Structure 1
Amino acid sequence: MSNPELGILMLCIFIVTILLGFPIAFTLIALALGFGYFAIGDIIFTLLVQRAYGVMANDVLIAVPLFLFMGYLVERANILDRLFKSLQLAFNAVPASLAVASLITCAMFATATGIVGAVVTLMGLLALPAMLKAGYDRQLASGVICAGGCLGILIPPSIMLILYGAMAGVSVVRLYAAALFPGLLLAGLYVLYVVIRALINPKVAPKLPKEERKVPLLKIFAALLTSFFPLAFLIMSVLGAILFGLATPHEAAGIGALGAIVLAAAYGQLTLSRFKESVFLTARTSAMVCWLFVGSWIFSSVFSLLGGHGLIEEWLLGLNMTPLQFLILAQLVIFLLGWPLEWTEIIIIFVPIFLPLLPAFGIDPLFFGVLVALNIQTSFLTPPMAMSAFYLKGIAPHLQLMEIFKGILPFLAMVFVAMVLFYTFPAIGLWLPGYLYN
């Protein structure tokens, strides 16, 4: 039964209800069942059951709980303090050394955990006081913590890329290969910005005292050996196993989960309470993701059945846009959705609206996925709804929210620079998957 007006009404009701704070997954399911029953009758309940089973049997999604467990356990292994101090020693001769060490620590820890709120909170407790004590500009220090904490969304092994791959039917292995260099590019732009800023105006990032900068190389190596190298080895083992075809993503995620257990035990942090808490948080987050998948699929099916997708596709194609104009429109919509929504809802609910249009504009879904992953960074960094700013404000009440927002803006600009560079030179992301899996 085609009724595009009814489909658009369903979409509008959904947007209003989530803005009012209703649970997204169950809102999707409720609207899909209500409108679906009107359109096709009792069969909608059979479709719901089949989709729920399909999500549980999806091999790609097995990696999600395993990577989550790895992240939660690494977070509780208390490695962050050692990691930051060792990197601080290693980069003590670099301008804005504390900020550079903070960004690299954020990138590594965010990659290992994939949990933005946890990284921003922990780094806010650890690195922010160190930077402020050293006389760093409050805005710069805030921006470093907020921007660095979001890098795990993009740099593999990223859970966001797993979800996009499942939605778009794109190989997660190729997505990981495609996102690696853009992720490193963005992290490099962050580091470059703080170093140049410190060179132009040393007052915003004063050098450490000379006695703190004169550290024996043996001491630096020993510090890295007990903090940086174990975590780097865990990340590279997981990522390398995936990229070089030694293991599937869910097998590599299993290796990562086991490695996190070994790492926590090696640091003497593997207690029963921490293990149980990690399992509980993993189960809760995985259940949320799976129900979002179920709700998104059944909602999209009913929306398409009513003719909503066809109406949007016909309207967009009727605008006679060029591929660049379509990409700008799609990324603008995703950017705006990042204000009220989490990245999971954007990827699972709204990105699929654009996916059927990619062939019409000759856009590679792999390229589109990495561009979306870059764009998703902005959902945590764009005032007034920058969640990373609120995470930091929660543990640093002495900071003004406006200070944090001002500190974030230059890093937000770096995200747009990275997106422009990736569009202009797509080989930044597409060369590696092409070389490895041509």
Structure 2
Amino acid sequence: MFLSEPALGILMLVLFLIFLMLGFPIAFTLMALGVGFGYFTQGDSIFNLFVQRTYSVMANDVLISIPLFLFMGYVVERANILDRLFKSIQLAAGWLPGSLAVATLATCALFATATGIVGAVVTLMGLLAFPAMLRAGYDTRIAAGVVCAGGCLGILIPPSVMLILYGATAGVSVVKLYAAAFIPGLMLAGAYMAYVVIRAMINPALAPKLPAAERNVPIGTILFALATSFLPLVTLITAVLGCIILGLATPSEAAAIGALGALILAVAYRNFDFTKLKDSVFLTARASAMVCWLFVGSAVFSAVFALLGGQRVVEEFIMSLDLGPIGFLLLTQVIIFVLGWPLEWTEIIVIFLPIFLPLLDHFGIDPIFFGVLVALNLQTSFLSPPVAMAPFYLKGVAPKHVSIDEIFSGVMPFIVIVVIAMALLYAFPGIALWLPNYLYGG
């Protein structure tokens, strides 16, 4: 053997990055590299490991909630509930400076709690809210930034699928993760809205007020719109999250309640049929299969990587830097930020985070706190060029005259807001840890 086992582990990681850049399917690349290097060094025993890892992933109770939450989100999306929600919030927020942008962010935050699917939220709001803001005379950049930033909130705000995957990967309670992410999620959404309102007050030309006829709507009309669109969805979301956070149901049980509630809501709005149900099931199955096989591939790859000693090489390198807890957090967050350019959040969570997780104990870092930091950081990975998924989602549905450079320019202030939110979380960890500690003990 020309290379030592730790060197083979590092070579395996490098080859994965090369194949990733060449466009190979990620899950099957992970499995192929894991089995290939495992067979070369461990012999036939690698096949037993592959079967065991596959079974352990498929039998993971935490992951059952993923297809149920995805189904809930796709049903809400296909039933056009988002359209009703946006119009009702638009009526209620008409008196605010930048009211359309505020309504867009509020709709994104609520829809994020129902789906957590970034591409779906950005695309739908790009078709619904973005043209409405442009017609109202909004600056293209601020309108684009609002849609992209708001659409990414589902990564952080519960019931985030990302937090479920992190919980399964790190072996921590998803319930505590949801409680920890709740306040930072609201804080980030509130900061986005405050920024838009302040910009509109300083320079009204960026976000002009709606015509008087659209602002001076009878209070009865506003209340009826909120009662028939805003209130039902909020009630469903509150019931799902409340059951989880208060310990009345497991995430999987609450997700099942949410899926059933979404179906009832869609039927009640009389905007759901068998075709839309079939589409929702198909999209759920496709996304769930992708996540599941990615998890299997990551489990095999990580196991072989550790067997070869690659994990030990990474740990020794980080330890040799003689970092404190803050230095370690900054290093990991910079690496995650850079990885967010070429990779989706699922790959970052299941492939690269397991490299850092064993070091959390050494540096005395709470894995719940670390998970919320990662979720905040991944907001930037969806927004920051050159490989920013949210701007490209929006560009795909935006009018032809809107350039990708304008969209990138529009998201920059929101990236700054995310960085400020991360700095606040570093300085005051209680923002994330107070609620889970209060509900479940320290």
Q: TM-score higher than 0.5 here?
A: yes
Quote the Cα distance in structure 1 between the aligned partners of 2:414 and 2:242. 29
CA offsets 1:132-180 (integer angstroms, 9 cap, x no match): 1111101000000000000011000000000000000110000000000
Quote the Cα distance in structure 1 between the aligned partners of 2:224 and 2:141. 33
CA offsets 1:23-46 (integer angstroms, 9 cap, x no match): 000000000001000111111111
Question: What is the aligned counterpart of 1:47 among 42, 46, 49?
Answer: 49
Aligned to 1:412: 415
CA offsets 1:169-218 (integer angstroms, 9 cap, x no match): 11000000000000001101100110110111111011112222111111
Aligned to 1:127: 129
Question: What is the aligned counterpart of 1:425 among 424, 428, 433?
Answer: 428
Q: CA deviation at 1:277?
A: 1.1
Aligned to 1:332: 334
Quote the Cα distance in structure 2 between the aligned partners of 1:312 and 1:169. 21
Aligned to 1:292: 294
Q: CA deviation at 1:82?
A: 1.0
Quote the Cα distance in structure 2 between the aligned partners of 1:218 and 1:434. 42
Give the letter for the 1:377 counterpart: Q
Is the deviation greater in 48-57 or in 333-342? 48-57
Quote the Cα distance in structure 1 between the aligned partners of 2:144 and 2:7. 46
Quote the Cα distance in structure 2 between the aligned partners of 1:317 and 1:19. 29
Q: After TM superposition, list the pairs within 5 Å mapping 1:233-382 onto structure 2.
A: 233-382=235-384
Aligned to 2:79: 77
1:150 counterpart SS class: helix
Normalising to structure 1: TM-score of the pair? 0.99
Q: CA deviation at 1:100?
A: 0.2
Quote the Cα distance in structure 2 between the aligned partners of 1:194 and 1:152. 19
Question: What is the aligned counterpart of 2:224 among 222, 240, 255?
Answer: 222
CA offsets 1:357-383 (integer angstroms, 9 cap, x no match): 111111010100000000011111001
Give the letter for the 1:263 counterpart: L
1:227 counterpart SS class: helix
Structure 1: gaps of 5 or more residues = none
Q: CA deviation at 1:284?
A: 1.1
Q: After TM superposition, list the pairs within 5 Å mapping 1:5-154 onto structure 2.
A: 5-154=7-156
CA offsets 1:303-337 (integer angstroms, 9 cap, x no match): 01111000110110111001111101000000000
Quote the Cα distance in structure 2 between the aligned partners of 1:398 and 1:45. 54
Q: After TM superposition, list the pairs within 5 Å mapping 1:369-408 onto structure 2.
A: 369-396=371-398, 397-408=400-411
Quote the Cα distance in structure 2 between the aligned partners of 1:423 and 1:228. 34
Quote the Cα distance in structure 2 between the aligned partners of 1:290 and 1:51. 12
Aligned to 1:174: 176
Structure 2: gaps of 5 or more residues = none
Give the letter for the 2:76 counterpart: V
Quote the Cα distance in structure 2 between the aligned partners of 1:405 and 1:235. 32
Give the letter for the 2:430 counterpart: A
1:221 counterpart SS class: helix
Quote the Cα distance in structure 2 between the aligned partners of 1:249 and 1:274. 25
1:149 counterpart SS class: helix
Quote the Cα distance in structure 2 between the aligned partners of 1:300 and 1:211. 60
Percent identity for Structure 1 against Structure 2? 69
Q: CA deviation at 1:81?
A: 1.2
Query: How many equivalent residue pairs?
Result: 438
Quote the Cα distance in structure 1 between the aligned partners of 2:424 and 2:229. 33
Q: CA deviation at 1:398?
A: 2.2
Quote the Cα distance in structure 1 between the aligned partners of 2:278 and 2:216. 43
Give the letter for the 2:439 counterpart: L
Quote the Cα distance in structure 2 between the aligned partners of 1:250 and 1:386. 31
Normalising to structure 2: TM-score of the pair? 0.98
Give the letter for the 1:288 counterpart: M
Quote the Cα distance in structure 2 between the aligned partners of 1:251 and 1:297. 25
Quote the Cα distance in structure 1 between the aligned partners of 2:23 and 2:263. 36
Which aligned segments of 4 or more residues in structure 1 are displaced greater than 2 angstroms? none
Give the letter for the 2:112 counterpart: A
- Output the aligned Cα RMSD: 0.9
2:302 counterpart SS class: helix
Quote the Cα distance in structure 2 between the aligned partners of 1:56 and 1:7. 26
Quote the Cα distance in structure 2 between the aligned partners of 1:391 and 1:111. 20
Q: CA deviation at 1:122?
A: 0.9
Give the letter for the 1:176 counterpart: Y
Give the letter for the 2:415 counterpart: L
Q: CA deviation at 1:270?
A: 2.4
CA offsets 1:64-96 (integer angstroms, 9 cap, x no match): 110011111110011111111110110111110
Give the letter for the 1:404 counterpart: I
Aligned to 1:436: 439
Q: CA deviation at 1:230?
A: 0.8
Quote the Cα distance in structure 2 between the aligned partners of 1:192 and 1:215. 24
Quote the Cα distance in structure 2 between the aligned partners of 1:434 and 1:110. 25
1:177 counterpart SS class: helix
